[in-house]
Amino acid sequence: MPTTHKHSRKMTIIWISAIVLIFGIIVIPSIAKRLKSDQVVDINRMAMTQDAMYPESKLSYIMGEDGPRKVPDFDFVDQNGDSFSRDSLLGKITVLDFFFTSCPTICPIMSSNMSQLADEFNEYQNIQFVSISINPRYDTVDRLAVYKEKYNTATDQWFLLNGPVDEVYALARDGFFMIAKEEAEAPGGFEHSGLFALIDTNGFLRSSIDNFGNPLIYYRATITPEEKVDDNGESEQITLLNEDINRLIEETNAKN
C-alpha cells in the first residue's frame, strides 16, 4: 500500500508539472505578445462594455450607469436670439465646449481651434459647433454675436449659447462632468474645462479609444495643431478630433 500511494503521488506531481509546462509554452508567450502591443485590457473596463454592445463602431460610446451617456435636456438661446435646445443636436454631428467671452487665458485658443474646425467642415450641413457661455449674465446675445464675428464670420454652423446660469452649470456638471463655475481667484473670475466634446447625431457622447481600450472621453482644446505640444508636454488633440469627426461622418452615412 505505501508503494502504491507513493506511485500515485508521483504521477500527480508529473501531471501538474506537465500542465505547468504546457501553460508556459502556449499561454505565456501569448500574454507577452499582447503586453508588448498594449492589447491587454481589463474585461471589466467601461470601454470593453461598450465595445461588446457596439462592436461595429470605430468610436467609443461614453458609458454611464444606465448605458451610453446622452446629452440631457436644455433650452438656451444662440447669438442670433434663436432657441437652441437638446433637440437642435439631433441629426447633427456636434463639437461642444464651455467658454466665456472675457476669458483672458484658454478661451481664445479654444475659440481659434473651434473656428478652424468650423472652416474645415463648412461644406457639411450635418455638422455644427456649439460654445456655451459660463458667464451668461455678461455674455448677452449681442456680446456673443460680436465674439462670433471676431473669430469666424464665414460659417453659420457655429452657435454661441446663453442660458440661465444655474442651468448652464448643471449641464456642464451633470451632463458632461466638466468644470464650469465662478472662481474669484481664477483668471477672469471663472474656472472651466479646456475640452471639446464630440456628440453624434443621436445626442450620444463619443470619443476615440486609446491603446488600452479606454475612451478618451474629451479632446484637449487648449493646444493648436501648429503648436503640437504645450509647455507641460501635453500633445494637441484637434487633429485627432478632426479625424474622429470624419469617422462619425462615415458611420452616419453607413447607417443612412
The 10s digit of each residue's pLDDT in 177-211 is 999 999 999 999 999 999 999 999 999 999 999 88
For residue 18, the one-letter residue type is: A
- In this predicted structure, the answer to whether residue 227 has a pLDDT above a threshold of 90 is yes
pLDDT tens track for 51-70:
444 444 589 999 988 899 99
Residue 54 DSSP class: -
Binning pLDDT at 50, 70 and 90, where does residue 17 land? Answer: low
Q: How far apart are CA 31 and CA 33, in angstroms?
A: 5
CB burial class (10 A; 0-12, 13-18, 19+) of residue 31? exposed
Question: Can you tell me which residue has the cell 439631433?
Answer: 90
pLDDT tens track for 112-158:
999 999 999 999 999 999 999 999 999 999 999 999 999 998 899 99
- In this predicted structure, the answer to whether residue 39 has a pLDDT above a threshold of 90 is no
Question: Can you tell me which residue has the cell 479632446?
Answer: 219
pLDDT at position 210: 86
- CATH topology assigned to domain 46-255: Glutaredoxin (3.40.30)
Binning pLDDT at 50, 70 and 90, where does residue 160 land? Answer: very high
Percent of the chain beyond pLDDT 90? 72
pTM of the model: 0.78
Domain boundaries, the chain: 1-40, 46-255
The grid coordinates listed for 194 are: 479646456
Q: How far apart are CA 79 and CA 74, in angstroms?
A: 16
Q: How far apart are CA 185 and CA 165, in angstroms?
A: 19
pLDDT tens track for 78-91:
999 999 999 999 99
CB 115: neighbour CB atoms within 10 A? Answer: 19
Residues 212-227: what's their mean pLDDT?
95
